[in-house]
Amino acid sequence: MGGVELYAVNLPDRLPDSEWNLLLSVVSPEKQMKIQAFRRYEDALRALVSDTLIRALARDKLGLLPSQMDFGVNDFGKPYLFGYPGFHYNLSHSGDWVLCAVSREAVGVDIEQVKPIDLGIADRFFTKSEARWLHDTEEHEKLEMFYAIWTMKESYVKAVGGGLSIPLDSFSISRRQDGRFRVITEAPNPFTISLYDLDSRYKTAVCSTIDPLPEAITIMSLEQLSRNLLKE
């Protein structure tokens, strides 16, 4: 595997029972129970596709069978694949999309559906420079700018793997001359961030120590996902 690779699956309203059962059969018994415990079908579907997407990618990149994959999380909830320290991945889902990044180095992804929100929370969670960046944006573009900044910050937190131990106002996002973004902290920071136009209704950001980041996201169908899981 070279640098960062990005994959996304667009979710249907509902899966045929045969397809649902096929995907469910490759996840762990513990994850099966968690998926089946969701009250809302949409939440169960996002969880199922998220789990099977990373298994399909690990199958493709590492040649592992689903039964050979053992996943865990660090103390802050960041997931990893046991026994493969050079295989980094991160997942995010929102609305109709599930997004996954795989890389040989630390990586974080975030996708958020753009919905009306109180923009005043930027003054609570953003740095002064980011809040000023938002306030200086044209009124009709403010909502999208808020989500752009938010997803970039979340992607960095997820890449570092520190969870809630990293306050969102403890680092700042700054635009580079090439149009991508960088993270500013008190210590030198190697992370690069990029925004992607996956869907006009969503904001998507990816963060990694690998630079440059890929130009585009690969869209996978559920059929492709199933083939990757079940191939010989």
pLDDT of residue 1: 65
Hey, what amino acid is at 226? S
- CA dihedral (151, 179, 207, 28) positive or negative: positive
* Strand-strand pairing, 202-208 and 107-113: antiparallel
Reduced to 3 states, what is the DSSP secondary structure of residue 66?
helix
pLDDT of residue 232: 64
Mean pLDDT to the nearest integer, 150-168: 92
pLDDT of residue 160: 93
pLDDT of residue 194: 97
Half-sphere exposure of 97 (CA within 13 A, CB side): 25
Tell me how many degrees the CA angle 95-96-97 measures, rounded to the nearest 5.
100
**DSSP-derived secondary structure for 36-57:** HH-SSHHHHHHHHHHHHHHHHH
Other C-beta atoms lying within 10 Å of the C-beta of residue 94? 20
Residue 90: pLDDT band by 50, 70, 90 thresholds? very high
Residues of 171-191 as b/e, b for ≥16 C-beta within 10 angstroms? bbbeeeeeeebbbeeeeeeeb
Half-sphere exposure of 143 (CA within 13 A, CB side): 11
What domains lie within the chain, and their CATH numbers? 5-230 (3.90.470.20)
Q: Whole-prediction pTM value?
A: 0.95
Q: Which tens digit of pLDDT belongs to each residue from 175-206?
A: 998 989 999 998 888 999 999 999 999 999 99
Q: Which tens digit of pLDDT belongs to each residue from 99-130?
A: 999 999 999 999 999 999 999 999 999 999 99
Cis peptide before 212 (omega within 30 of 0): yes
